[in-house]
Amino acid sequence: MKPSPVVLCDEPRAFAADEIFFSTTDGRGVITSGNEVFVRISGYDTGELLGRAHNIIRHPDMPRAAFRLVWGYLRAGKPVAALVKNRAKDGRHYWVVALIVPTADGAFLSVRFKPTGPLRAVAAELYAQMLAEERRVRAAGAGEDAAMDAGERVLLAGLRAAGYADYDTFMRVMLCEELKSRDATLAVEGRTILRPLPDTAESTPRRPALAARLAALYGEGSRAYGHLNQLFHRLDDFVALHHALEKKSAFVNNLTGELRLAAMNVALASSRLGSEGLGLGVISQYMGGASGEIAGAVHQLVGGIATVSARLRAVIFNLAAARLQIEMVMAFMHELLTAADTGDAGPSRHQLIHTLHTAFNSTLSRASHALHELESNTHGLNATSHSLGRQMIGLQVAQLGGRVESARLVRQDGFEAVFANIRRQIDSTHQELGELSDALDQLESLAEETPDIAREIETAASRMEAGIGALATA
């Protein structure tokens, strides 16, 4: 039976910052499960949700291009985070931060929480612009793909204007900032995500063995969450170092062209002097050769920075995502233990905990892998930076020789200014490389500390996995 159309109501559907919820869908986006919080906030009964396409809660203020972007990530096997405006059954709206990941069986898991930071307003404005552009293109007679292409162009242009290079950059920042904003909100409200458990004997008298195992799992999860929070609270350090590396990469990348131009200017000026400029010609040849060697070192350094930056991006996003996912595991177990009765918490409930935990484990594995690679990549990058520094010393010697040689000339032809500019470039490069070395030392130290914490999390997660396997027999 087709449901009655939903009448929109321009009012928010209230829910608390500590309420997180999930839903699973098959590969086509049809809802296969969800927790009690999802059911309650959506306003639908469980029976109205199961077997329906997830767009049953889609709000008409959401542009289609935003969902196409999300599906692009998922079909490529990648996790994606987004700010989404949803519609409840009563027509009211509710915003969520959604983290959606593909699962091993070709399905999808979406974990959501309430946004409390300033980026929701940014997203709302962009979505309104995208929606208007999509409607304009459709009204002009273009097809749906063209409309979504236009909407996506508006999104990317808006993100760049707001200081984000692309959607990848935006979603990493958004997920981390929203989690931190939510933490601050909960601290003010005196609430936490992890709540104390009730007396399991009183709350679940019909299934005491299941309740006891869920309580034990909750304890292991609390340990994993505590260790993960240690890493999460270092994210600002990782983010700051990532920004520092990006700035150094931009400077170093411009260095090659500037040094080659300086060498060329010296060569041209010395050639105009004839025999009087032979000494400077030799120096310009050396500078040209040196700038070529420096170009190779710069290319290697920029490539190394790009590799380390990619590892940092993976660490930042996956640590934030893993923290949210372990919170969802914990919240769902708490929900089961505080329900009126867990008599229905049979294999289906066990399977849902397993699905949530498997997603967390997969994300944690990606974060741990990136942390281990970061340690070795950072060490190699520091060596490349020091090598470039040594090459710049050779160029500095040539610059000094050039200044001495040009001082002997009757016709200066602006050599003093040329060599003074080269010296400024060399001094700036030494300063930038020194700052880069400091940043890499900090990053290396940070990367050496974190794998031990990651191993503690992995140990607790492994115990949880064993406990989840035992739930089926409880």
Please, what's the largest Cα pairwise distance for the chain? 103
What is the pTM assigned to this prediction? 0.86
In SS3 terms, 374-427 reads as HHHHHHHHHHHHHHHHHHHHHHHHHHHHHHHHHHCCCCCCCHHHHHHHHHHHHH
Quick one: CATH architecture of 1-192? 2-Layer Sandwich (3.30)
How many angstroms separate the CA atoms of 236 and 443, rounded? 12
Average pLDDT score over the chain: 86
For residue 184 the two structure tokens come to: 């601050």
- Highest-scoring range by mean pLDDT, 176-185, 212-221, 262-271, 283-292: 176-185
Q: pLDDT value at position 118? A: 95
Q: Alpha-carbon distance 288 to 12, whole Å?
A: 66
- Torsion sign, CA atoms 297, 299, 302, 305: negative
The whole-number pLDDT of residue 49 equals 95
Note the pLDDT of residue 392. Answer: 81
Highest mean pLDDT of the ranges 27-41, 184-198, 250-264, 300-314: 27-41
Structural class in CATH, domain 229-471? mainly alpha
- pLDDT digits over 61-95, tens only? 999 999 999 999 999 999 999 999 999 999 999 99
Position 346 confidence tier, pLDDT thresholds 50, 70, 90 = very low
Q: How far apart are CA 77 and CA 101, in angstroms?
A: 8
The CA distances from residue 410 to 194, 280, 404, 414, 419, in Å, are 80, 13, 13, 12, 17
Residue 369: Cβ-neighbour burial (10 angstroms; 0-12, 13-18, 19+):
middle
The structural domains of the chain, with segments of one domain joined by +, span 1-192, 229-471
The whole-number average pLDDT for the span 99-121 is: 95
Question: CB under 8 Å to 71, separation ≥6 — which residues?
Answer: none
pLDDT of the residue at 385: 84
The residues, any chain, with a CB within 8 Å of residue 418's CB and separated by 6 or more, are 262, 265, 266, 269, 402
Percent of the chain with pLDDT strictly greater than 70: 91
Q: How confident is the model at residue 414 (pLDDT cuts 50, 70, 90)?
A: low
Confidence of residue 474 (pLDDT cuts 50, 70, 90): low
Q: Mean pLDDT check: name the lowest of 210-214, 284-288, 382-386.
A: 284-288
